[in-house]
Structure 1
Amino acid sequence: MTTATESALPHVNDVALTAPTESVDVQALRQRACTELLRQAAIEAGLLAADDPVPVGGAISEAAASAIELLIERMVQVPQPTDEACQRHHAAHAARYRVGERVHARHILFAVTPGVDVNALRQRAEACLLDVRNRTPEEQAAGDRFAVVAASTSNCPSGAQGGDLGWLTSEECAPEFAREIFGKAEVGVLPRLVHSRFGLHVVEILSREPGHDQPYAAVRQAVAQSLWHASFATALSQYVQVLAGRARVHGIALDGAATPLVQ
């Protein structure tokens, strides 16, 4: 029997997504909701036992993980991209497949940690971005404001060096971070926050070495894989939205939710 306390928690079809004393950020809560929708769909499809244990702390059983993989394989089918589509993609995004590109960057990290108020964290990061960007030449000449703020604010050890990350290649960065700083011409403090699995970054590009583009023939497989994964992520997200539309979801908005990561 569901208690009043349990019913007040975020839940999917009466399965609570958090414990009463547990604090979970919005992104993690969405991931739990998407995973629970898939777990319940696997039970409905006969791929998982009806008495599969309810997840605790977001952790699902090994049987549930295997059943969800099978469910996704069955329900989310994406064709391989055509060679014409791959060539068009490469022509429009050749910089993504550039080799030898390096950037000298520094950053101020606002780390997303368990229980952190993500909205408040974003507001702090945005205020910091305005602070280090909107300075007159005279103020900039008076001192290195970026380094000072990094030393006092950044949640990264690089703060001790003014946020300096040194020279980086795309392979040395998280993919979502690399997409924001490589294959572009921007130099200086970027006019936007950079989101990564680690948190929110205020980033300054100090210098660039452009590298060189690769011909389509050399990267054809990488292009095809990139397009397929993008199509798969979209199809999986759409499938989860269909499941959400049929379920009783309380306490979490799944509109525009990111693709669920089932681990």
Structure 2
Amino acid sequence: MIRVDGVEIPEAAIGAELQHHPAASREAAWQAAAQALVVRQLLLAEVGRQGHGAGEEAVDALLAGQVPLPEADEATCRRWFAANRARLRSPEAWQARHILLAADPADAAARAAAEAEAGAIIAALCVEPDRFAALAARSACTSREEGGDLGLIEPGTTVPEFEAALRALRPGELHATPVASRYGYHVVQLLEHEPPRDLPFEAVQARIARWLREASFRTAVRQYIQVLAGRARIEGIALAAAEGPLVQ
């Protein structure tokens, strides 16, 4: 049985909390859920002791009053910027257009027909490349309204097969063969490729300051919870006190 200064944390409450703590095993999830409820009880008890009222808003008010939130100055932000340039790059992006010939992966005949039609379109475009927008009218994708133009595509935002095809092309180049995906077969043309690039400090200063502020706040909250845990009598579960490792 888990208690915090004599207040029991019911099994049912821990069971309900489990959904918020995915883990490799149920035991690990249960431990995380139980610790979270112990921390909540510590905070609610301190709210009551200090007369802040009750509920989650009162907990927020308690933390706002007890946990400092320092602002990172420009020099601190610049040091973080210099040490983390790789994390502050604009993402790679492609501008592409396509024509989708839809076919269910489970329908072999439809897949064969879609592949043949896509191949015929590619052959036609090799002779008359300016017809892409007109031929895109038969696409099963809503991008047909834009002549097949998909706009900017970033890594991870499309299916792997389509992204691999884009990586194999140079700007202006048409993929020589139909590109298969779970949606059917695509006729793919890369219009532009924008490689990742380093961003200037001025473009990311506000983002860095926000990251540093949030990191400082999380650390300070963990330390404050450690102090509360050190003052309390906690039974049935191990929770780090002020001299132990940080509580998550």
Q: TM-score, normalised by structure 2?
A: 0.50
Higher relative contact order (CA 8 A, sep 6+): 1
Q: TM-score, normalised by structure 1?
A: 0.47
Bigger Cα Rg: 2
